[in-house]
Structure 1
Amino acid sequence: MNRHRRWFGRLVIVMLIAICAACGNNNTGNGNNGNAAGNAGETKEGTTATVKERVISTSKGDITIPEDPQKVIGLSVVYPEFLYALGVTPIAVQNYHPDFPSYLKEPFKDTLKMGIAQTPNFEAILASEPDLIIAPEWWSDKDYDQLAKIAPTVLLPQRDNWRDELRDIGDVLGKKDQAEKIIQDLETKQADAKVKLDSLVGDETVMYMMIMAKEIVIYGENIDRGSFIHKQLGLTPVKEFPQTELSLSISLEKLPEYNPDHIIVQMDDETSEEVKSRYDQMTSSTLWKKMTAVENNHVYLMGGKEWFSLGMSPLADMNAIDDVVRAFENNNK
Structure 2
Amino acid sequence: MRQLRTGIAFCTAALLVMVMAACSNNAGQAKVEASTETDFRLVNSENGEIKIPAHPARVVGLSVVYPEFLQALGITPVAVQNYQEEFPTYLQEPFKDTLKMGIAKTPNFEMILSSNPDIILAPAWWAGKDYDQLSGIAPTVLLPERQDWRDELKDIAEVLDKKEAAEKVIQELEAQEAEAKLKLDALVGNETVMYMMVMPGSFVLYGDQIDRGKFIHTTLGLEMIPNFPAKDPSLSISLEKLPEYNPDHLILQLNNEDSPEVKQTYEDMLNSPLWKNMKAVKNNQVYMMAGKDWFNLGMSPLANRYAIDAVLGAFGGNSK
For normalisation by structure 2, the TM-score amounts to 0.87
* Match of residue 81, structure 2, among 80, 94, 98: 94
Structure 2 residue 316 is the aligned partner of structure 1 residue 329: yes
The residue that corresponds to 1:173 in the other structure is 160
For the aligned residues, what is the CA RMSD? 1.6
Equivalents in 2 of 1:49, 1:169: separation in Å?
A: 24
* Match of residue 110, structure 2, among 113, 117, 123: 123
Preserved contact between residue 63 and residue 152 of structure 1 (Cα < 8 Å)? yes
Preserved contact between residue 201 and residue 238 of structure 2 (Cα < 8 Å)? no
Equivalents in 2 of 1:233, 1:99: separation in Å?
A: 27
Equivalents in 2 of 1:51, 1:219: separation in Å?
A: 50
Cα deviation, residue 60, structure 1: 1.0
C-alpha distance 214-94 of structure 1, shift in aligned 2 (>3 A): farther
Q: What SS does the aligned partner of 1:89 have?
A: coil
- CA deviations 1:36-80 (Å, max 9, x no partner) are xxxxx99xxxxx988711011222121111111111000000000
Preserved contact between residue 298 and residue 331 of structure 1 (Cα < 8 Å)? no
The count of aligned residue pairs is 287
Amino acid at match of 1:187: E
* Match of residue 316, structure 1, among 297, 303, 313: 303
Preserved contact between residue 262 and residue 299 of structure 1 (Cα < 8 Å)? yes
Amino acid at match of 1:136: P
The residue that corresponds to 2:67 in the other structure is 80
The residue that corresponds to 2:180 in the other structure is 193
- CA deviations 1:283-309 (Å, max 9, x no partner) are 111101101000111000001111100
The residue that corresponds to 2:215 in the other structure is 228
Equivalents in 1 of 2:224, 2:256: separation in Å?
A: 24
C-alpha distance 216-117 of structure 1, shift in aligned 2 (>3 A): same
Equivalents in 1 of 2:286, 2:89: separation in Å?
A: 22
The residue that corresponds to 1:205 in the other structure is 192
Preserved contact between residue 204 and residue 262 of structure 1 (Cα < 8 Å)? yes
Preserved contact between residue 267 and residue 303 of structure 1 (Cα < 8 Å)? yes
* Match of residue 243, structure 1, among 230, 233, 241: 230
Unaligned runs of 5+ in 2: 1-31
Equivalents in 2 of 1:126, 1:94: separation in Å?
A: 14
Equivalents in 1 of 2:201, 2:165: separation in Å?
A: 40
Preserved contact between residue 203 and residue 238 of structure 2 (Cα < 8 Å)? yes
- CA deviations 1:138-190 (Å, max 9, x no partner) are 10000011100000000111001111100100111101111111111111000
Equivalents in 2 of 1:251, 1:212: separation in Å?
A: 10
Structure 2 residue 275 is the aligned partner of structure 1 residue 288: yes
- CA deviations 1:178-232 (Å, max 9, x no partner) are 1111111111000000010111100000000111235311000111000000000
Amino acid at match of 2:137: I
Q: Report which of the two has the higher share of helix.
A: 2
Equivalents in 1 of 2:97, 2:37: separation in Å?
A: 27
The residue that corresponds to 2:287 in the other structure is 300
Q: Bigger radius of gyration, 1 or 2?
A: 2
The residue that corresponds to 1:54 in the other structure is 41
Cα deviation, residue 270, structure 1: 1.4
Q: What SS does the aligned partner of 1:150 have?
A: coil
Preserved contact between residue 269 and residue 303 of structure 1 (Cα < 8 Å)? no
More deviation, 221-230/52-61: 52-61
- CA deviations 1:248-282 (Å, max 9, x no partner) are 11111111101000000011221222211111111
Structure 2 residue 131 is the aligned partner of structure 1 residue 144: yes
The residue that corresponds to 1:15 in the other structure is none
The residue that corresponds to 2:29 in the other structure is none
- Give runs of ≥4 in structure 1 deviating > 6 Å: 48-51
More deviation, 190-199/273-282: 273-282
Q: Identity across aligned pairs (percent)?
A: 62
